[in-house]
Amino acid sequence: MLPFKLVYHPGYDLQLGEHVFPSRKYRLIHDQLLDEGFAGPWDFVEPRPASDEDVLRVHEAGWIDRLKNDKLTDADIVRLEIPYSKAMVDGFWLATGGTILAARNAVRDRIGFNIGGGFHHAFPAHGEGFCAIHDVAIAVRALQHERMIERAMIVDCDVHHGNGTAAIFAGDRSVLTLSMHQFNNYPNEKPASTIDIHLRDGIGDDEYLERLRGALEVAMSFSPNLVFFVAGADPYREDQLGGLAMTMEGLKRRDRLVFETALAKNVPVAVTLAGGYARNTADTVTIHCNSVKTAKEALE
């Protein structure tokens, strides 16, 4: 039995068909962890969808109404970059419920893990970049509302800048946002995070890890009650939407660094997966599975 629960629901698949975002990856991660014998059925828990009350602490009511009632404009769809369907909307609400549950589990178990989520490009009044609602921001507000935490830190290691995260928490002294991303990549406009690490094209493991280590040392002085780790697989050197040169081993070292830095300060970590668009989807799945395995190693 794992020392933490893996939050997962078959409904995480957004049913996008042939799309560069392989949302079937969530099922493949679940199945691979079982097939390898790393996890058993008892290690997984299913979330409930996020409540609209939770979602509306972050998002404007008009955007939520358009999403839930099939009122998106053509411009909304173009900006979102994924086709509209009820399965898509349901998937985002389930994944957001999963991130809330993973955050609660982290407070209890030191690590909480959502096999999904990390939709860091969503803004209060619109979605973009495959992200309709911002599950991590919603989870931060839910746990603050429940008085489980006061201060949260978001460590975003997706290859793309966490623009929605930065915009939502701008000026909020209760949340520190750290985004480490390829500078010459989506999105064009990058609102300021608390800490932004702009990476040049093509950097590899050693430089990446050195810069992340320095940023974490500075960020941990914030003394958060909970770290949300957005563990994107897309810094991988074979990613279709990335331009960095990280290896699978380097990404494991990245994950270990985040986990060990937080746990050494007795700060729990809630994990979401975010992006991953490797030419071979099996590579993306393996990177995400490695994040689960590294979390277990860090706890032990």
Residues 245-268, mean pLDDT to the nearest whole number: 98
Across 197-206, average pLDDT: 98
Confidence of residue 3 (pLDDT cuts 50, 70, 90): very high
224: CB partners within 8 A, 6+ apart: 149, 151, 152, 153, 176, 267
φ and ψ of 84, to 5 deg: -80, 140
pLDDT of 77 reads: 96
For the stretch 84-103, pLDDT in tens is 999 999 999 999 999 999 99
What is the pTM (predicted TM-score) of this model? 0.97
Alpha carbon 277 to its chain's center: 14
DSSP 196: E
pLDDT of the residue at 41: 98
Identify the pLDDT of residue 78: 96
Distance (Å, whole) CA 7 – CA 46: 6
**Predicted confidence band of residue 166 (pLDDT cuts 50, 70, 90):** very high
pLDDT tens for 217-241 read 999 999 999 999 999 999 999 999 9
3-state secondary structure of 36: coil
What is the model's pLDDT at position 138? 98
- Confidence at residue 105, expressed as pLDDT on a 0 to 100 scale: 98
Spatial contact of 201 and 182, defined as CB atoms under 8 Å apart: yes
Report residue 181 as tokens: 């991303």
Give pLDDT, residue 198: 98
pLDDT digits (tens, 9 = 90+) for 242-256: 999 999 999 999 999
Domains, the chain, with CATH or none = 6-299 (3.40.800.20)
Residue closest to 146 by CA, chosen among 226, 263, 59: 226
Output the pLDDT for position 257: 98
As a whole number of angstroms, the distance between CA 80 and CA 191 comes to: 18
pLDDT (mean) for 58-71: 97
Residue with tokens 């392989």: 22
